Structure 1
Amino acid sequence: MEREDPFAFVRDQLRRQRALRNMSQDEFGKRANYSGSTVSAVETGTRLIDLPYAKRADEILDTGGLFESLLRSAQDDGEPTWFKPYLEAERNGRQLRFFEPMLIPGLLQTENYARAVLRMDDVRPESEVEQRVSARLERQEILRRERPPQVIAVIDESALRRRDAIMGEQLAYLLRMAELPHVHLNIVPLTAGLHIGLSGPLMLVMLADGTWVGHLDHQLGGSPVAAEEGVATLLARWEGVRGIALPEDQSIALIKEIESQHGPQ
């Protein structure tokens, strides 16, 4: 059974609210600084609705934040059920810790990298890929808010050395993100050999009250980790991989070295 498009209701409401104000697509687009063809594409679903578009629609149609709220709800609906508990914790977290042995962490991915990762599941419909890409990019907005969480990401060097064409862009973006004062990167060098982190990726969130929530990805999806014993194990393993990672300045230098091998971006 094909999954219902979670953005269909948002598009319907956009069309309805615009029509109630006797506003054509061209007129709406002119006010919103979009072309009429872009407005048409959004309303027919051939172009995804993003947060800037939703906010402009709220301003022009005077809907009091309706479309921003609907869009965020639709993006949550577009995420797998197993990932929603972690997303809620991430939005409210004070500190985020990641370890990735094979990929760039989702919170630090470019649009093209995220799309390529999601397309690795070759039976996933393209519409779902695009919904998930949009949701992942919107998820990254927490890094740009007034009070962002501290992010400490430990990444295995092998994840940086993929030879895909998109990696030059991704590495350049990773370096720009590392310039943010609240984003810290540590790379586990290939010379570290075998280590406990190679068992798989992990994510940890420290909440405002000091408690921790964990998450594990696997081939069938992912699993939240809230039990005290499980969280303690993840914290210990994260400290283990950070302990063998390069210091931050050496990590940045290594990323720059690998990025330079891809030529100018």
Structure 2
Amino acid sequence: MTVNGEGPGLRARAEYGARMRKFRTRQGLSQERLAAAPGVTYSESQIGAVERGKRTPGEAFTEEIERVLGLNGELKELLPEIHNDFGPKWFRPWPGIEAAAHTIRTSEPSLIPGLLQTERYAEQVFLGKPGITLDEAQKAVKIRLKRQAVFDSPNPPMYSTLIDESVLSRPVGGASVMCEQLARLLTAMQHPCITVRIVPLSAGLTTGLLGAFEIAQIAGSTDTAYLESALTGEVITHFDGVRALNVRWDALSSMAYPMNVSEQVIREVMERYGD
């Protein structure tokens, strides 16, 4: 699933196709002649699909094309972004949806939201998965940090998140990591498009404790939501499901502290980590 052709991995794939076309035409080669070049094992239609961004290029394909066109990594350097940005199969649609959204609303009962996580905090979160290697965790962190570039776009989404107060006191990675992470939250709250509010412990057992979710609103499209469980995640578009999540978010929002009080709560917890 794509949204207006956007998403970091899809943009990298489009850039790959544009570069390949540029270098091919510089050599005076048509797609047909490139496919017929010695050592090329891919057909004209496969080459055309890559150039149009309809086919994901692999390392073997890239090595053949670079050799024939006399390149030195100009295409290969895009492969990590093309492949790593997709993440798990069930998550692949979501970065593109985030990039196209004009409004994003999230609820987090157990962790700092991914779009606001620091690198060290995110690494600790991924390392908490049983059996994961450091390399796998670091790759996942890179994907998460690249998603945060959505706030640097010319038209960033209006982002509003509700974080359970217990999240602030959970010492993910220890005091140093948490101080840095809470400082990141305070900085994010200065962004004109970002709202962070804390749902107090005094609210008791809330509907937010049932699980994290994110809702994206896209112009000219129905609302889309993302749900994540301990094992997998799911992007949903069906009306009843998304409407139920919007109602849940509104209920939680009514319980949350206003921004100024939320900021003070974050500062107080941050001071405790610094003691």
What's the TM-score once normalised by structure 2's chain length? Answer: 0.70
Counterpart residue type for residue 84 of structure 2: Q
Cross-structure match for 2:133: 125
Note closer, same or farther for the CA distance 1:210–1:260 as it changes in structure 2 (3 Å cut): farther
Which of 106, 112, 120 aligns to 1:104? It is: 112
**Structure 1 stretch 227-236 or stretch 247-256: which is displaced more?**
247-256
Deviations 1:222-247 (A, max 9, x none): 11111000000010001111110011
Does 1:214 pair with 2:225? Answer: yes
Q: Which runs of 5+ in 2 are unaligned?
A: 1-8, 10-15, 17-71
Cross-structure match for 1:260: 271
Matches within 5 A, 1:157-176: 157-163=165-171, 164-165=174-175, 166-176=177-187
Matches within 5 A, 1:48-63: 63=74
Counterpart residue type for residue 189 of structure 1: P
Separation of aligned partners in 2, 1:169 and 1:131: 21
What's the TM-score once normalised by structure 1's chain length? Answer: 0.72
Deviations 1:101-120 (A, max 9, x none): 01000000000000000000
Does 1:245 pair with 2:256? Answer: yes
Separation of aligned partners in 2, 1:131 and 1:167: 21
Which of 98, 101, 106 aligns to 1:90? It is: 98
Deviations 1:173-211 (A, max 9, x none): 110111111000110011111111111111110012252
Counterpart residue type for residue 76 of structure 1: D
Q: Which runs of 5+ in 1 are unaligned?
A: 1-5, 7-12, 14-60
Separation of aligned partners in 1, 2:122 and 2:224: 24
Cross-structure match for 1:139: 147
Note closer, same or farther for the CA distance 1:193–1:74 as it changes in structure 2 (3 Å cut): same
**C-alpha contact (below 8 Å) 2:222/2:237 kept by paired residues:** no
Separation of aligned partners in 2, 1:83 and 1:223: 7
Offset, 1:263: 1.8
Q: Tell me, what secondary structure is at the counterpart of 2:85?
A: helix
Note closer, same or farther for the CA distance 1:67–1:157 as it changes in structure 2 (3 Å cut): farther
Q: Sequence identity, in percent?
A: 36
- Bigger radius of gyration among the two: 2
Which of 198, 203, 216 aligns to 2:209? It is: 198
Does 1:76 pair with 2:92? Answer: no
Offset, 1:122: 2.6
Which of 191, 200, 204 aligns to 1:189? It is: 200
Which of 106, 113, 119 aligns to 2:121? It is: 113
Offset, 1:71: 4.0
Cross-structure match for 1:53: none
Counterpart residue type for residue 91 of structure 1: A
Separation of aligned partners in 2, 1:115 and 1:92: 26
Separation of aligned partners in 2, 1:242 and 1:84: 28
Separation of aligned partners in 1, 2:223 and 2:151: 19
Offset, 1:249: 1.1
CA RMSD of aligned residues (A): 2.3
**C-alpha contact (below 8 Å) 1:86/1:213 kept by paired residues:** no
Counterpart residue type for residue 98 of structure 2: E
Q: Tell me, what secondary structure is at the counterpart of 1:185?
A: strand
